[in-house]
Structure 1
Amino acid sequence: MTQPIRDFMERHYKHFNAAALVDAAKGYETHINSGKKMLITLAGAMSTAELGKSLAEMIRQDKVHAICCTGANLEEDVYNLIAHNDYARVPNYRDLTPQEEVALFDRGMNRVTDTCIPEDVAMRKIEALMWEEWAAADSKGETNPPHVYFWNLLRSGVLEKEYQIDPKDSWMHAAMLKNIPIFTPGWEDSTLGNMFAAANINKKVSRTSVVESGIQLMIRLSHWYKDTTVDNTIGFFQIGGGIAGDFPICVVPMLHQDLELDVPLWSFFCQISDSTTSYGSYSGAVPNEKITWGKLAIETPKFIIESDATIVAPLLFAYVLKM
């Protein structure tokens, strides 16, 4: 089997961050090949960057076993699935005047760096369907994590006629088919999170508990970690920083120190980071700092790749997938 990307990386990526990338990819591969599990965290705008093209295949091949992501990444993968052709790219975004930004706003084009997400055909289309999902759960007294409502829509087939990309390039679609756990801390900091708040304010939904709270999420995460590590260990692959990484990594010291349970530490750690450690950044802390918090052990394989995740993550996934 030819694997040109992997071969290229092994030949050319010998030093500095390039070498760190290959080292981390080999570490990831060793971890998975030994039968261990891996949780991946997604911060930033990874879904809008179309990371699903490589991440979905990682999920299908059982190289990712859980995902912790921001609310934006959760929803933006589905927006891309149903509205990809209506997105607009603005390669000269640094040159935009305030007046040109207003013109984008007036067109309903929400800009993320060089990419504009269309409000009407992406966000508002999903909003109308989500109201129905939330209302149905509300009437039954149900509480569900945010991703469950997306999965309900994907499973129902109601969105299929809207697909503008191959669903194989959607990591949410792949995660649904594999039924892997998804954790979304701080979901309210997202477009649909805002819409859900509005739905409660205008009484379209009668309970905020229709969607899982942050505390409920930590409890669910703790059960998954505890159950999974009965006969296995879990690695932690962090893309970016922020709550997507900070929230789940804390489950281990919580289980140890607050519940006094005997569970293993995270057995692998890698972060793709563009943060500056010396600014007091937790997100940008070197891996060894996590030893002092009871998250990693001295012997835990630790890697940090200081680079752009939109470039590095697909390369690392391609290496692990033997592409």
Structure 2
Amino acid sequence: MEKTIGSVRQFLEANFLHFNAASLVDAAKGYEAHLEQGGKMLVSLAGAMSTAELGISLAEMIRQDKIAIISCTGANLEEDIMNLVAHSHYKRIPNYRDLTPQDELDLLNSKYNRVTDTCIPEEEAFRKIQVHIEKIWKDAEQAGERFFPHEYMYKLLLSGVLKDVYEIDPKNSWMLAAAEKNLPIVVPGWEDSTMGNIFASYVIKNELKSSTVKSGIEYMVWLADYYAKHAIDQGIGFFQIGGGIAGDFAMCVAPMLEQDLEMENIKKWRYYCQITDSTTSFGSYSGCIPNEKITWGKLDVDTPSYVIESDATIVAPLIFAYLLNR
């Protein structure tokens, strides 16, 4: 049967009528309305969305200018590239719930790192990138240059050194799409990623200086300038996939500008949606409802807000397909 344009959108609008399903459609319509009115959108990526291959839909969202800026964990930054160059070596384990501690140790000894049902191949993924990124780091330091973590990854991708070892269609790599557009990215807590750990090891061995990679504070300073310049007219929306540092780091820039820098007439985030499976609990950021963010100066009282309590690996591609009219 031939696929019709907009078939996912038509299906969602016809079937997703109540509860979390309705929230999904409402959030997608709100996202679309925000863009149509001239607003920009920040997307934050927590968890292991790159290993979940969100790039299949996220890359096209970037190419179609439906995303203005991304905040993501270091894991999401690197794992998209790992999938790009080592896809055939990944191992899927559908019965991961049945693994014993010994099974897990066997995976480790086989140089597999498990993320739920998917095992990332250490040698083919991490090490294939490491040899090239090490040279880029050291060349920058020798030249007296400093860059953000994502800028080094952009240099890696745009250099073409990995092109001959791509194992998926490059159109499905969101990092490659972002690099080609020089899309702004902030990566809080990059140090806890695999590449961050590798970089730290070079610092410990006195092969690199820690200052060669710009810090999280520098990301925040950059983001403050970006937000102040772009949070005008319809402002910037916030589409949050999961919780954690990728979300809160970027979101707190609005109250920082208003409360700490005492800037007047700073717009708060003008759209908000979170996809989460974290329930509201004592002290939980990932599970807090949008109204709580009003008390912190992050959202305004009239900010259109949505929460979809579901699995982001299912929900995010559906919303992106809706927005892409697939």
* TM-score (normalised: structure 1): 0.98
1:101 is aligned to: 104
* CA deviation after TM superposition for structure 1 residue 98, in Å: 1.6
Kept in 1: contact 2:270–2:303 (CA 8 A) = yes
Secondary structure, in 3 states, of the residue corresponding to 1:305? strand
1:115 is aligned to: 118
User: Could you list the runs of 4 or more consecutive aligned residues of structure 1 that deviate by over 3 angstroms after TM superposition?
Assistant: none
62, 74, 93: which is aligned to 1:90? 93
AA in 2 matched with 1:281: S
Does 2:7 match 1:4? yes
Secondary structure, in 3 states, of the residue corresponding to 1:238? strand
140, 145, 159: which is aligned to 2:143? 140
2:294 is aligned to: 291
Distance 2:189 2:118 in 1: 23
Matched ranges for 1:7-26 at <5 A: 7-26=10-29
1:244 is aligned to: 246
* CA deviation after TM superposition for structure 1 residue 230, in Å: 4.4
* CA deviation after TM superposition for structure 1 residue 231, in Å: 4.8
Does 2:30 match 1:31? no
* CA deviation after TM superposition for structure 1 residue 276, in Å: 1.5
Distance 1:179 1:124 in 2: 25
Distance 1:13 1:295 in 2: 29
Secondary structure, in 3 states, of the residue corresponding to 1:277? coil
184, 187, 203: which is aligned to 1:184? 187
Kept in 1: contact 2:49–2:76 (CA 8 A) = yes
Structure 2, unaligned runs of 5 or more: none
**Residues 91-131 of structure 1, C-alpha deviation per residue, up to 9 Å, x if partnerless?**
01111122211111111011000000000011011111111
Task: Indicate the RMSD between aligned Cα atoms, in angstroms.
Answer: 1.0
Distance 2:282 2:166 in 1: 43
**Residues 122-150 of structure 1, C-alpha deviation per residue, up to 9 Å, x if partnerless?**
10111111111111111122221111111
252, 260, 263: which is aligned to 2:262? 260
2:201 is aligned to: 198
Kept in 1: contact 2:268–2:298 (CA 8 A) = yes
1:71 is aligned to: 74
AA in 2 matched with 1:314: P
Secondary structure, in 3 states, of the residue corresponding to 2:44? strand
Distance 1:254 1:280 in 2: 21
Does 2:313 match 1:321? no
2:306 is aligned to: 303
1:125 is aligned to: 128
45, 51, 54: which is aligned to 1:42? 45
* TM-score (normalised: structure 2): 0.97
Secondary structure, in 3 states, of the residue corresponding to 2:192? coil
Distance 1:141 1:184 in 2: 22
1:213 is aligned to: 215
167, 179, 190: which is aligned to 1:164? 167
Kept in 1: contact 2:158–2:180 (CA 8 A) = no
AA in 2 matched with 1:120: E
Secondary structure, in 3 states, of the residue corresponding to 2:281? helix
Compared with structure 1, are the counterparts of its residues 139 and 231 closer, same or farther at alpha carbon in structure 2 (3 Å cutoff)?
farther
Does 2:45 match 1:57? no
Distance 1:33 1:110 in 2: 42
AA in 1 matched with 2:104: E
1:226 is aligned to: 228
AA in 2 matched with 1:250: C
**Residues 192-232 of structure 1, C-alpha deviation per residue, up to 9 Å, x if partnerless?**
10001000011221x10111111111001101111112455
Structure 1, unaligned runs of 5 or more: none
**Residues 295-322 of structure 1, C-alpha deviation per residue, up to 9 Å, x if partnerless?**
1111110000000000000000001111
AA in 2 matched with 1:68: S
Secondary structure, in 3 states, of the residue corresponding to 2:274? strand
